[in-house]
Amino acid sequence: MPIYRRVLRYYRPFVPQTLAGLLLTLCAIGLNLLKPWPLKIIVDDLIPLAKGGGAHADGWRALISANPTRALLVLCATLVLIQLLWGLLNRTTNFLFVRVGLQALLKLRTELYAYLQSLSLKYHDAQRSSDSSFRVAYDSQAIQAMYNQGFTNIFTSSVTLIGTFIVMVRIDWQLTLLSLGVVPLIVGAIYYFAQRIRKQSTLI
């Protein structure tokens, strides 16, 4: 845990940008969950009504059956609009998160180079300069990876999983429980192979 607190020190100045990115991520996840709905309306409502089931339709289904062609165009346009908005939000959030990660990386590298320059010449004579330069240039990238490939991915995947589960339960909770039956098998397989990979990697 101490190492995570040290990492947070570099990201504390960028809390507003991170919160803005998380808010845009939530909007993008919501749009991503909305993608199947226009297609669902087309398959479940528009096609049956267009085949003659619109005579007994009521509410918004009656509006669809009154002009199926216009309804189809509106639903297709909605699909395209959702995809465009999702792509725009996704691109914006990626830009924000990558920018924050690079700024934190720049701050860390600046401090490391300043510390190296403050060391005595005796230290630099005893140590290989290439090793110090390599650690500052490449090992320091771990601070960006923890943010861009760790925190943001975990947040996005967790919220998407929860949102998908809620939508599935509202549609058909029995089918949702049935689909979750494979989760223990997947978790068991991941745990089993992760242990084997970790063991083999220590033998190399």
CATH number at residue 55: 1.20.1560.10
Give the whole-angstrom CA distance, residue 204 versus residue 198: 11
Q: Which domain holds residue 150?
A: 2-171
138 & 201 share domain: no
82 & 157 share domain: yes
Tell me which amino acid residue 132 is: S
163 & 183 share domain: no
128 & 191 share domain: no
Q: Which of 14-18, 91-95, 174-178 has the lowest mean pLDDT?
A: 174-178
152 & 107 share domain: yes
Decide if pLDDT at 61 tops 80: no
110 & 21 share domain: yes
133 & 197 share domain: no
34 & 122 share domain: yes
The pTM for the full model equals 0.77
Q: Which band of pLDDT confidence, cut at 50, 70 and 90, is reported for residue 59?
A: low
116 & 183 share domain: no
Cα four-point dihedral sign 110, 114, 115, 120: positive
28 & 66 share domain: yes
49 & 132 share domain: yes
Q: What is the pLDDT of residue 183?
A: 84
What is the 3-class SS of 67-99, one letter each residue? CHHHHHHHHHHHHHHHHHHHHHHHHHHHHHHHH
Count the domains in the chain. Answer: 2
Give the whole-angstrom CA distance, residue 47 versus residue 71: 11
Q: What is the pLDDT of residue 31?
A: 92
98 & 191 share domain: no
Asked if 159 and 26 count as a contact pair (C-beta separation under 8 A), the reply is yes
pLDDT per position as a tens digit, 90-118: 999 999 999 999 999 999 888 888 888 88
Give the whole-angstrom CA distance, residue 68 versus residue 24: 34
Please give the backbone phi and psi of residue 102, each rounded to the nearest 5 degrees, phi first: -70, -35
Which residues, at least 6 apart from 51, have a Cβ–Cβ distance to it below 8 Å?
Answer: none
